[in-house]
Amino acid sequence: MNTPNSTPRDTADDEIRPLRIEVPQSQLDDLAARLERVRWANELPRDQVTDGIQRGPVTPGWEYGVPLEYVQRLVETWRDSYDWRKWEARLNECPNFTTEIDGQNIHFLHVRSPEADATPLILTHGWPNSVVEFLDVIGPLTDPRAHGGDPADAFHVVVPSLPGFGFSGPTHEKGWNRHRTARAWAELMRRLGYEKFGAHGNDVGSFVSPELGRIAPDQVIGVHVTQLFSFPSGDPAEFEGLTEKDIEYLGFLQKFNEEMSAYAKLQETAPQNLAHALADSPSGQLAWIAQLLAACEDEHVLTNATIYWLTNTAASSARFYYEDHHAEHPTEATKAPTGLASFANDFTPLRRFADRDHANIVSWNEYDRGGHWATQDAPDLLVDDIRKFFRTFQ
């Protein structure tokens, strides 16, 4: 029986091993028992927390963070009606594999297209998501013919779990940042026999994918992302010629960073401080990831909470932020052909800053709907943008 918990291997090799996700019932029983014994946090009365006015990215009632009412509702669902076995079966509908790269267990989905000449494409998820982020788009990407699309737009899809996240976790040594992950992805695609491939990423994946294009320019045909995290450097010259709209948007970015970045600051500086609580409390794990996933359907939130809980990867996924924050990052612009699909309710950079950091942006599309998790609320737009971007390299 394969379980989601992996242990370090004594010897390294290039072998790719099939994996079937089968969580022991004892782990699910333990989770249920813990949810039965939950002790709730206290909070201020609702009428003292909010005046009903939305301020930037903060939803009324969420000014202090994830509300008790939200957590109670999801915990009740998690305990009484959520079916992990359904999602386990759905994950197992995709071919799952593991391999060891650079001393680390790497889990990935590998779904080949029925179109023999499909373009290989590696998809990198974000935090606090998992490979579940891409389940709904695998079909349209691999088999466009069956989803009303052009078979010329088909992809062989590889969806790895980030090192330290979910079924790739935990990590056992320092240094797993965006650069080391990008090198691992290049090696993974080599092992799978893909000499040329595209890369797409969201959230953390939008950091990893451009680096993959940087370190493997002879392999990566193009990089498609949903964010380009480009900010002012502090040089006053960068602000010359900004329009009133640009300045207004910079104010939005500053407010967004001030009100939504507490999780990143903690994970960048002292990830173990919170990890002890998350490893012991499933309701705490749920609330911690819900601060960014709450716009998604409840089952999506609960499935990700279940994966992080069962694999005990709250600490190692948080350490990714620490390692990346303390890494030395290249200062020169990336050169791989780059495409951005930016969604209405998400971070969008100013083009001048993005061009400073990425010298070969060939596609830039902004959409009037969708959010940070576009696979969940605008999958049609995302799939179409990915298809159009990589069509130019055929």
Reported as a single tens digit per residue, the pLDDT across 239-269 is 888 888 888 878 877 777 777 788 999 999 9
Domain assignment of residue 333, given as a range: 23-35+56-391
State residue 222's pLDDT score. Answer: 98
> What letters, b where the CB count within 10 A reaches 16 and e where it falls short, cover 357-367?
bbeebebbeeb
CA distance 158 to 292: 25
What is the share, in percent, of the chain residues with pLDDT greater than 90? 82
- The pLDDT tens digits for 100-158 are 999 999 999 999 999 999 999 999 999 999 999 999 999 999 999 999 999 999 999 99
pLDDT value of residue 8: 38
Confidence label for 12 from pLDDT (cuts 50, 70 and 90): low
Mean pLDDT of all residues belonging to the chain: 92
62 pLDDT higher than 90: no
Asked if residues 315 and 271 have their Cβ atoms less than 8 Å apart, the reply is yes
The owner of tokens 């009133």 is 244
pTM: 0.93
**pLDDT bracket for residue 49 (50, 70, 90):** low
320 is a domain residue: yes
Q: Is residue 16 part of a domain?
A: no
Least confident range of 171-180, 243-252, 306-315: 243-252
Please say if the pLDDT value at position 55 is more than 90.
no
Q: Is residue 47 part of a domain?
A: no
Residue 236 pLDDT: 84
pLDDT digits (tens, 9 = 90+) for 198-239: 999 999 999 999 999 999 999 999 999 999 999 888 788 888
pLDDT at 77: 98
- Average pLDDT for 81-98: 98
> Using CA of residue 79, residue 67, residue 87, residue 92, what is the dihedral sign?
negative
What's the CATH code of the domain at 125? Answer: 3.40.50.1820
Considering the domain boundaries, does residue 6 fall inside one? Answer: no
CA-to-CA distance for 319 and 170, rounded, in angstroms? 10
In this structure, is residue 300 part of a structural domain?
yes
From start to end of 102-219, where are the E strands? Answer: 104-111, 119-124, 155-160, 197-201
What is the Cα–Cα distance from 265 to 284, expressed in whole angstroms? 18
- Residue 388: in which H helix or E strand, if any? helix 379-391
For residue 3, pLDDT over 60 is answered with no
Any domain includes 359: yes
Q: Which of 25, 22, 18 is nearest to 5 (CA)?
A: 22
Around 73, how many Cα atoms within 13 Å sit in the side-chain half-sphere? 11
Task: Please state, as a whole number, how many other Cβ atoms lie within 10 Å of the Cβ of residue 29.
Answer: 10
- pLDDT classification of 11: cutoffs 50, 70, 90: very low
339-359 mean pLDDT: 93
CA dist., res. 253 & res. 131, Å (int): 28
pLDDT computed for residue 240 by the predictor: 87
Please tell me the predicted confidence (pLDDT) of residue 7: 36
- In this prediction, residue 59 carries a pLDDT of 62
Question: Residue 71 falls within a domain, yes or no?
Answer: yes
Q: Which residue has the higher pLDDT, 28 or 260?
A: 28
Length of the chain in terms of residues written: 394
- Residue range 340-361: average pLDDT? 93
Q: How many domains does the chain have?
A: 1
Beta sheet of 361-366, edge-to-edge order: 16-19, 96-101, 104-111, 155-160, 119-124, 197-201, 220-225, 338-342, 361-366
Domain annotation covers residue 74: yes
